Amino acid sequence: RNFDEEHRAFLEIASRKECFVKMVLSRTLNLAEFDAQVNIIAEVSRETPLILQPISAEREGHEDPALMDFLSSLQQRALGKLREVRIVPRLHKILQIP
């Protein structure tokens, strides 16, 4: 089932406070779904920061050059609609925090 309307309603409430959206992404991402979610964020408030986090089955995402290149292209794609899009590794994995 598609949860786009629930996501939109949640973001409308959350945008009244300081918030951000985080997406944990792999190379198997559906681009149409990514674009749809970015559009929802932009429609509610293009000022909401979007954080992209790399995840890979082979190794930790930030160590996968192809995945990082893919996330860079997604970042540029989303910056066409949102003011701030960052790529942030899964710091808890790098620091080995369970």
| Residue 79 CA, distance from chain mean position | 12
45 vs 12: CA distance, rounded Å? 8
pLDDT digits (tens, 9 = 90+) for 47-80: 999 999 988 666 666 778 888 899 999 999 999 9
* 8 A C-beta contact, residue 50 and residue 85: yes
Does 91 have pLDDT greater than 80? no
pTM above 0.85, yes or no: yes
What CA–CA distances, in Å, run from 48 to 25, 76, 96? 18, 16, 29
